[in-house]
Structure 1
Amino acid sequence: MLVHPTVARLTYRGLLGRRRAAILFALPALLLVISAALRVLTGADDQTAVDVLGGFALATMVPLIGVIAGTGAIGPEIDDGSVVYLLAKPVKRPVIILTKLLVAIGVTVAFSAVPTLLAGFLLNGNSQQIAVAYAVAAAVASVTYSAIFLLLGTVTRHAVVAGLVYALVWESLFGSLVPGARTLSVQQWALALAQKTGAEGAITSSVGLPLAVTLLLAVTVAATWFAGRRLRALTLAGEE
Structure 2
Amino acid sequence: MKVLVPVKRVIDSNVKARVKADQSGVDLANVKMSINPFCEIAVEEAVRMKEGKEHHAAGTASEVVVVSIGPAQAQETIRNALAIGADRGILIQSDTDLEPLAVAKLLKAVVDEEKPDLVLMGKQAIDGDNNAVGQMLAALLDWPQATFASKIEIGGGKATVTREVDGGLQTLAVDLPAVVTVDLRLNTPRYASLPNIMKAKKKEIAAKAVADYGVDVAPRLKVQKVTEPPKRSAGVKVADAAELVSKLKAAGAL
Provide the TM-score with structure 1 as the length reference.
Answer: 0.30
TM-score by length of 2: 0.29
Q: Which has the higher strand share?
A: 2
